[in-house]
Structure 1
Amino acid sequence: MARTTVVIASRNRCGSLLRTLTHLSELAAPVILVDNASTDDTVARVRREFPAVTVLESPINLGAVARNYGIRAARTPFVAFADDDSWWAPDAFERAEPIFDEHPDLAVIAARTLVGPAETPDPITPLLRHSPLGEGVAGPAVLGFLACSAIVRRQAFIEAGGFSPVLFFRGEETLLSWDLAAAGWALCYVEDVVAHHHPAAERAPDGDIVERRNAVLTSWMRRPVGRALVASLKDPRAFWAAMPRLRQALRQRRALPEHLEAQIRKASGRPRRGG
């Protein structure tokens, strides 16, 4: 019986999604697609060409929060996220599941991400591999991950509240990582668990500012006021972009444990991810 479900959130990316589903069909794992109000023929084609895939249709674009609905619909103890342009190596779940079993306090396995046909390591890979936080329960301890190459313990994800609607999309992993760690869960990078990412050549033109906006919002939601002010002043354009969501972010503000804030400061030198 399968113990890992793949959850994908997608919107108007039918071509790349069908390629992803073709690769995922080689795995003996259930797949849940949460469609973010696509206006193309995504839903019809997936239902026709991949009838084994469970399709959940959202009437609105939920961004990353769509994954929350997918994980709640899953019936396995572990969930592997994929984007509509990424998929998992054939042995990824066979490698990950025993690690979760051996470490019941492990919430997230951050996989090694190989990009494109050349299978170049994603820029985040060496940062995770050489995490300044040192060795964790199952590999280098981390406070971040790429959603498209992460496997999570379903219970931990749900207890932590999942991805935040305040952030919508891009850089949403950081807040969840901090909340999991604050609740006592471990997050580790595992080299032998592999995901493949084939991003489109064209990227959203506003992607960088959205990610920077979310970094500012995340700081205001969890970090000390002084740190949040520094983050805002260092990137005034991102702070300006965050203003429409700042009141909502502040309503969800809560302090992190002191030891975790110290770990965040230690790890904060890493650059933003590029995907």
Structure 2
Amino acid sequence: MLQTQPLVSVVILCWNRKDDVKESLTRLRGQTYKEMEVIVVDNGSTDGTIAMIEEDFPEVRLLKMPKNMGIEAYNIGFKNAKGEYIVILDDDSFPAEDAIEKMVDKFKNDEKLGIVAFDVRNYFSYDETNKKVEEKKNTSAAIQNYLMAFNGAGAGARKDVIEQVGFYPEEFFLYWNEQDLSFRVLDAGYKIEFFSDIVSYHKYSPANRASWRAPFYYTRNAFWLLWKNYPMTMVIPITFRLIYLVFYYSLEQYTTVYLKAMFSAIFNIKQIKDKRKPVKKYIAENLRIPFDVSFTFYR
């Protein structure tokens, strides 16, 4: 009897990026790995995304949200996934054609591997980066010397692991959700490893982060990420450092958004009150979180 390959569920969250979603879904059709389902969770798009998917990609499972629910909608996709493994993508990212096949091999070879972090590369340098992948297609690099999170524009996860530890933190709405999940995966005894030969391409554009949303949610969620996951001996000094940075960069950049975010974190702390579960100190010390990124948007 022929042994069947495990099913992989590709989960994409989209919101008003019809052309990008169309390209991503078209690229997924070219995957060398065929035992997969594609789930698109639409966050209330109004630009024709839904009609395009229904017409051009009838094989896709389309889950329609009544409004923009942020990353909570990812969790709906995860819960509906039937695969043993889940590939996580943004609506403007897609994996290289052999990425899912390579990801499955990594999972098969290491039962403690909880998340595979793809090498997320700039789509706008596609031709150059694709050539480099071809030149090194038989090489991989798993980072062993320190703990790491993953990029939500390209990653694979064991479904049973993220079911066990809990999915993305719905209270965050946007940003730091990958890091929050990483703390819980690592604390449960699983590994997150990066492989340079498993590639995805992301249409990163700084213009998409020019509004108040990115600095607000990055800053607010930095406090919540800290308060949820760190041991108390680390929470207090890092909290004071974050408060200092909020005031410093508010003055430097002539903005009130960081202050609004900090006060939102404090006044809405009840949203995380029952979700605090400090991880082992080793994990908190070695999963390096670049909190300062919250304060770079108005420079």
Q: What is the TM-score when the length of structure 1 is the normalising length?
A: 0.85
Structure 2 partner of 1:126: none
Residue 112 of structure 1: how far off its partner (Å): 0.7
How do 1:77-226 and structure 2 match up within 5 A?
Answer: 77-119=84-126, 138-140=142-144, 141-200=146-205, 202-204=207-209, 205-206=211-212, 207-223=214-230, 224=232, 225-226=235-236
Q: Post-superposition shift, 1:244?
A: 4.5
**TM-align CA RMSD:** 2.5
Q: Please give the secondary structure, in 2, of the residue aligned with 1:80.
A: strand
Ranges in structure 1 where 5+ consecutive residues have no aligned partner: 122-136
Task: Provide, for residues 119-142 of structure 1, a one-character-per-residue CA deviation record: whole Å limited to 9, x for no partner.
Answer: 488xxxxxxxxxxxxxxx954353
- One-letter amino acid of the counterpart of residue 256, structure 1: V
Contact 2:117–2:151, Cα closer than 8 Å, also in 1: yes
The one-letter amino acid paired with 2:148 is: L
For residue 55 of structure 2, what is the amino acid of its counterpart? R
Residues 72-108 of structure 1 show CA distances to partners (whole Å, capped at 9, x for unaligned) of 2111111111111100001101111111111111111
Unaligned runs of 5+ in 2: 130-140, 247-257
Alpha-carbon distance between aligned partners in 2 of 1:219 and 1:50, rounded to the nearest angstrom:
41
The residue that corresponds to 1:70 in the other structure is 77
Moved more, 242-251 or 169-178: 242-251
* Superposed CA offset, 1:22-64 (max 9, x none): 1112123321001112223211210111101100111232211
Tell me what 1:127 maps to. Answer: none
Q: How much has 1:180 moved relative to structure 2?
A: 0.8
Q: Which residue of 1 aligns with 2:40?
A: 33
Q: 1:245 aligns with which of 236, 254, 268?
A: 268
Indicate conservation of the 8 Å contact 1:85/1:200, yes or no. Answer: no
Number of the residue aligned with 2:13: 9
One-letter code of the match for 2:236? G
Q: Secondary structure at the match of 1:202?
A: helix
- Residue 233 in structure 1 maps to residue 240 in structure 2: no
CA contact (8 A) 1:8 1:34 kept: yes
Aligned mates of 1:231, 1:217 — CA distance in 2: 14
1:19 pairs, out of 23, 41, 47, with 23
Determine helix, strand or coil for the equivalent of 1:180: helix
Give yes or no for contact 2:6–2:84 (8 Å, CA) kept in 1: no
**Which residue of structure 1 aligns with residue 283 of structure 2?**
260
Aligned to 1:129: none
Give the Cα–Cα distance (whole angstroms) in 2 for the partners of residues 173 and 269 of structure 1: 13
* Aligned 8 A contact 1:162 1:176 in 2: yes
- SS class of match (1:22): helix
| Contact preservation (8 Å) 1:220, 1:250 | no
Alignment partners' CA distance in 1, 2:183 and 2:72: 17
In 2: Cα distance, 1:107 partner to 1:69 partner: 20
Which segment drifts farther, 175-184 or 28-37?
28-37
SS across alignment from 2:176: coil
